[in-house]
Amino acid sequence: MQQTRPIIGVTTQTLQVIDGIPPALPHSVVMNQRYYEAAAAAGGAPVLVPLLEDAAALRAVYETCDGILIPGGVDVDPGTYGETPHEKLGNIDPARDRVELLLARWAIAEGKPLLGLCRGLQVINVAAGGTLYQDLEAQYPHAIRHDYFPTYGFKRDHLAHDVHVAPASRLRTLVDMDPVPVNSMHHQGVKRLGDGLVPCGHAADGLVEAVESPNGHFLIGVQWHPEVFESDDPHTRGLFRGFVQAAAQFGA
C-alpha cells in the first residue's frame, strides 16, 4: 500500500494585484509553481488554498491540510497592524491578507506546522501581533540593500547577503549551515516581533530575517525565497523536508 503524503495547503494571491493585469478582468487566484514543486519534492502533496470569503468554508479547507505554507508576494496592508500607509507602500491584496492571517492564527493556536517565506514571514509576524517596516530604505536606519529583485534588476537567484542563524535554533538544525547566503527581494520587514516568536536569523544590519516558535511547534518564517534553490541546494532542501515531515507527524 502506498504511503499517504501529508497535505500541504499553499495559499494564493489575487491575479489583479500583479502589475500589468487589467483590473476589469474576472478575478482569479494564482501562485508561483515553484512553491508547489518544493513541497512535492520534499514528500508533500501540495494543494491550492483559494481566497474564500466564507470563513466556514475556509476552515473546512484548513482542516484537510496537515501543514500550511505561506509564500511570497505583495505587501501586507498596514491596516492589519494598525498603521496608515507609507508613501512607499506597494501593491496590497486585502483578500489574501484576510485569508492568510486567519490560517496563520489557526495554525499558531493549534500547533499545525506552518512555514512562511518572505511575505509569509511577515504575515506570521502580524498574525502574532507584530508590526512591519513598510519600506526598509525609508524607515530602517542603516539598512543594507534588501530589494535586489525586482527594484535593482538582479535575478531571483542572486545571493545578495548572508543571514546569521542562531546556533541552538530549529532552523539551524534543518539548514545545517551558518551563515546562510540568501536571495533578497523584499522592501518590508519585521519591526516589532509578534508574541511567542523567537528571532533565529539576522542580516548584517540587524534586521530579523528568520523566526520560529520556542515551544516545539513547527513554525518557521524566513525572509528569503528558498523555493528558488530547493532543487539543487541540500541546505534549502532540509528546511522543506523538515516542514513536510512535521506535517506528516501532525496528520498521523
pLDDT digits (tens, 9 = 90+) for 187-211: 999 999 999 999 999 999 999 999 9
Residues 6+ away with beta carbon under 8 Å from 178: 164, 165, 167, 172
Residue 2 located in a structural domain:
no
pLDDT, mean over the chain: 94
Strand bridging mode 7-11 / 67-70? parallel
Q: Tell me: the pLDDT tens digits for 128-166? A: 999 999 999 999 999 999 999 888 889 999 999 999 999
Cell triple for residue 208?
A: 530579523
Q: Is 225 a catalytic residue?
A: yes
Q: Is 118 a catalytic residue?
A: yes
What distance in Å separates the CA atoms of residue 42 and residue 242, rounded to the nearest whole number?
8
Contact 69, 10 (CB under 8 A): yes
Helices (H) and strands (E) in the chain, counts: 7, 13
Per-residue pLDDT, averaged over 68-82, amounts to 98
Per-residue pLDDT, averaged over 30-38, amounts to 95
Residue 98 located in a structural domain:
yes
What distance in Å separates the CA atoms of residue 22 and residue 25, rounded to the nearest whole number?
6
Q: Burial level of 63, CB count in 10 A (0-12/13-18/19+)? A: exposed
Residue 1 located in a structural domain:
no
Indicate which CATH number applies to the domain containing 190: 3.40.50.880
Cell triple for residue 64?
A: 484537510
**Structural domain tally of the chain?**
1
Per-residue pLDDT, averaged over 4-33, amounts to 87
Which of the two residues, 107 and 252, has the higher pLDDT score? 107
Residue 153 located in a structural domain:
yes
Cell triple for residue 46?
A: 501540495
Residue 210 located in a structural domain:
yes
DSSP helix/strand/coil, 188: coil
Q: What domain range includes position 52?
A: 7-251
Q: What DSSP state is assigned to residue 151?
A: T
Cell triple for residue 230?
A: 530547493
Residue 170 located in a structural domain:
yes
Is pLDDT of 222 > 70?
A: yes
Task: Say what the pLDDT of residue 1 is.
Answer: 40
* Catalytic one of 100, 118, 200, 212: 118
Contact 105, 123 (CB under 8 A): no
* Catalytic one of 100, 209, 212, 227: 227
Residue 87 located in a structural domain:
yes
* Catalytic one of 161, 186, 202, 225: 225
Task: Say what the pLDDT of residue 3 is.
Answer: 63
Task: Say what the pLDDT of residue 14 is.
Answer: 93
Task: Say what the pLDDT of residue 151 is.
Answer: 83
Residue 64 located in a structural domain:
yes
